[in-house]
Amino acid sequence: MNIEAKLNAAMCWTVAVGVLAFAAADGAVSLMLLGVAGPLIAYVAGRPDPRRPGGGPWTLPRWLAGVLVFLAITSALLSATVMRDGTPLVSNLGAFLTYVQLIKLFDRRATRDEAQLLGLSVFTAIAAVLTSNSLAVGVLLAAYTPLAVTTAMRIEVASGRDLGAGVTVMAGRALWADLRRAVGASVVCACLLAAAVFVAAPRGVGNDWLGTFGAVPRAEVGFTDNIRLGQQGNLNERPTPVFEVTVTDGEGRNIGDPLRPMYFRGATRDTYDRRGIWLNSNEASRQSRELPEGGELLLDAPGPRPSLVMQTVQMRARIRGGDDYVFALWRPVAVRFQHPVQAAALRSDLTVKQAESGIRWSGRRTYTVVSALTDTDSDALEDGGRIGSEFATGPIADLARRVLAERLAPVAGAAGPADPLRGAEPRLAASVLRDFLRANYSYTLEMSLPREGQDPIEMFLFDTRRGHCEYFASALVAMCQSVGIPARIVAGYMATEFNALTGQYTVRESNAHAWAEVHVGPGRWLTMDPSPPADLERIHAPSRGLLARLKSWYDLIEFNWNEAVVTFDSASQSRLFRPYDERSGALQGAFERARKAVRRAGRNLGLISGDDAVSLAGRVAWWGAVSFVMLGIAYLARRRLLAPGRARRGGEMLDDEMRRLLAAARFYPRALRRLERAGLGKPRGRSGRAHAAALRRRHPEIAEPLATLAEIYEQVRFGRRALTQSDVATAAASLSRLEEALRARRRRRAERSARPA
């Protein structure tokens, strides 16, 4: 392959991988398709034409390329100014660079055009780094680095050849072998240097030296504490991951369960203003304080004999349009942050915000919440038990009283529309209202617009009789408040996707949910979800099957990527350089994580059951499979490493013409493989005809066709003679006779071994 063909292939690969990295980082499917189709067409168009020796790739007319680039520039300017829709500037820049690269792929007339195209590709890779730090982007950029280095060196070779007469440029296989070694050495050195810089200067170092310039933009999610009913359209169920959370009990045991959904509350609202908007009546009393790295915020006393549950939350994204809420199971009593933060807590509902003004994101944000499952007699929690006057009268209050009168009469005895709670506990009454909503209303993600002046909750209860989770929660809270039961609406996430490999729940944007909390006694708030369980199962249940299993393994790899790379900060650096600390040393932790990972894998593969009792057969199967895989990898690596040495020991390097000639003489290596399997292999250093002469005395039926095949092969290999039709026919017949002789030999040996002694 000549220099032009090699440069064309390297350039197309480099552009394709760079564009795919940015498209994966930005989530742009259209750019991903263009990143595959454009370089593929350019590769086909840029292959050398035998009718034009020395000709370059197929190119667009200069005027057309200029017009297309001008249109790309105009589109980028309009997207960043007049038509700006909130898309980050780096996304517009990356898209612009992609379009220009696809145009320049068909406008390569000289090596300087190749160099310009490579420069655009490098900037696209930088845009990918600034957009996302996900595992997929990291893998693509790891593949991009050697491709870019190879392309740069091939551009240098091509430019040296283009200098003209009087300049000596290496050619042939020696050139490309040296080039591969140079690329490998360059990439290895660059990786070692990057690893040293990564360890010495972790994320967050010098974060504020340049102000907001260079800050890595984070993905944003659609959670909002602005609960507003009465809007029109369809809710979007995006699978964007928001955070991962590990849930353990007081003894550190993981209590996650794929069949056990968990409600992670964020914001609460208890006041309704009749315009479809829910507000928090105690928001003004929220107290803010600065906490250092590792600081702890105490929210409430655990209560008598608490059952504590720890939640370690790793946020992937910032909440769009406001402060970041701390998501926790009810009842949170303490929050510990692993980063400096300005935390604002509200004691009446135990919600916490991480103020946006005091945070610069560098990697993921992690915090740990301690929740107590037992009740408390805290007076502060009584402040959240507000009963508003918004629903004291009206059709909602009439409906609530009628439902309670009908369904509580056998229990409460004297209960009636005038006093529906007489003799009944608030918990029982709220459960009746919840069950009424579940049984008589349907769940939908389609939002309907109420008539002018109509209350959205009344529209849901009396007209449409269908809605999403905010309507169900709002209706339950309104009906409870109308009969004197304090209640509030809660916005957060419903976690259902548990990964047994990582021991974590993965919470996605589509898991955003709203439910109610009902005050059922002193310091006692009960979580109640009025949405129909079957619809919640349909919407929030994770997918099953092979693809879901593969996705779980990918999540495990990405989890370790984020643990080791994305969140590597000064604290991680400190732990890394304390290898002899028994509690926090990296070596000790690595062994412990490896032990737990093997044990988890054993459980998932069915090799471990009960109290970690491993059967002998399970151990043998497990280690046998591992040994088989490792030996296979070692065998392939050995063959790969020894192949170049064997080629060099076989004589001079083969040129393109000789490779084509030998490709037509594949019958000879095939014959040697058949002899090797039969135990008659040719020793190294002996020619084919000499080996046939050695076999002639004992196996003449094998020696004769082997000698014919060896003679034809040597004429090709050493005489550089192309095979004729007669040669091909003779070789095919000889190979057939050789194989038949070997089969007859195997049959004879089998018959002899089957005879009785």
Whole-number pLDDT of residue 361 = 45
Handedness of CA 165, 166, 169, 171 (dihedral sign): positive
pLDDT digits (tens, 9 = 90+) for 639-648: 666 555 454 4
pLDDT at 60: 82
**More reliable by pLDDT, 692 or 378:** 692
Give the pLDDT of residue 362. Answer: 43
pLDDT attached to residue 610 = 43
Task: Report the C-alpha gap between 187 and 182 in whole angstroms.
Answer: 9
Least confident of 67-81, 630-644, 728-742: 630-644
Confidence of residue 581 (pLDDT cuts 50, 70, 90): very low
pLDDT at 194: 74
Quote the Cα angle for 344-349-350, to 5°: 50
Mean pLDDT of 29-58: 76
Rounded Cα distance between 221 and 238, Å, is 9
- On the question of pLDDT at 462 being above 70, the answer is yes
Considering only residues 409 and 246, tell me which one the structure prediction assigns the higher pLDDT: 246
Cα dihedral value 100, 106, 107, 108, nearest 10: 110
Strand 608-609 to strand 613-614: parallel, antiparallel, or no bridges (unpaired)?
antiparallel
Please state the rounded mean pLDDT for residues 649-666.
Answer: 72
The mean-pLDDT minimum among 114-118, 296-300, 550-554 falls in 550-554
User: What pLDDT, on the 0 to 100 scale, is given for residue 510?
Assistant: 82
Q: What share of the chain is helix, strand, coil (3-state, %, to 5)?
A: 50, 15, 35
Rounded to the nearest 10 degrees, how much is the dihedral formed by the CA atoms of 257, 267, 465, 494? -10
Residue bearing tokens 């500037």: 89
Distance CA 705, CA 730 (A): 10
Q: Is 274 left (phi over 0), alpha (psi -120 to 50) or beta?
A: left
| CA–CA separation, 572 and 566 (whole Å) | 11
What pLDDT is attached to residue 652?
47
Strands of the sheet with 296-298, listed across from one edge: 296-298, 332-337, 365-372, 308-315, 241-249, 504-508, 497-499
Query: According to the model, what pLDDT value does residue 591 have?
Result: 60
SS (HEC) of 214-259:
CCCCCCEECCCCCCECCCCEECCCCCCEEEEEEEEECCCCECCCCC
Q: How far apart are CA 142 and CA 197, in angstroms?
A: 17
Give the pLDDT score at 568. Answer: 62
What's the whole-number mean pLDDT along residues 373-393?
70
Give the pLDDT score at 554: 65
Asked if pLDDT for residue 310 goes beyond 80, the answer is yes
Percent above pLDDT 70 for the chain: 71
Q: What is the pLDDT of residue 752?
A: 82
Residues β-bridged to residue 243:
315, 507
Q: Which residue has better confidence, 480 or 502?
A: 480
For the ranges 166-180, 402-416, 575-589, 594-608, the one whose mean pLDDT is highest:
402-416
Could you give the CA distance from residue 526 to residue 531 in angstroms, rounded to a whole number? Answer: 15
pLDDT over 60 at 605, yes or no: no
pLDDT in tens, 17-43: 999 999 888 878 888 888 889 899 888
**CA-to-CA distance for 417 and 424, rounded, in angstroms?**
13
β-strands 446-447, 233-234 pairing: antiparallel
| pLDDT computed for residue 582 by the predictor | 45
The answer to whether residue 505 scores a pLDDT higher than 70 is yes
pLDDT higher than 50, residue 331 = yes
The pLDDT value recorded for residue 360 is 43
What's the whole-number average pLDDT of the chain? 78
For residue 155 the two structure tokens come to: 């551009």
pLDDT digits (tens, 9 = 90+) for 64-112: 888 888 888 888 888 777 666 556 777 888 888 899 998 888 888 777 8
Mean pLDDT of 617-642: 71
Distance CA 301, CA 299 (A): 7
Rounded mean pLDDT, 370-396: 75
C-beta contacts of 575-583 below 8 A and 24+ residues apart: 576/199
- Residue 297 has what pLDDT? 92
Q: How confident is the model at residue 15 (pLDDT cuts 50, 70, 90)?
A: very high
Tens of pLDDT along 205-225?
Answer: 544 444 444 444 444 445 777
Within 8 A by CB and 6+ apart from 299, the residues are 332, 333, 334, 335, 345, 347, 350, 352
* Angle, vertex CA 86, rays to CA 85 and CA 88, nearest 5: 125
Model confidence at 459: pLDDT above 60? yes
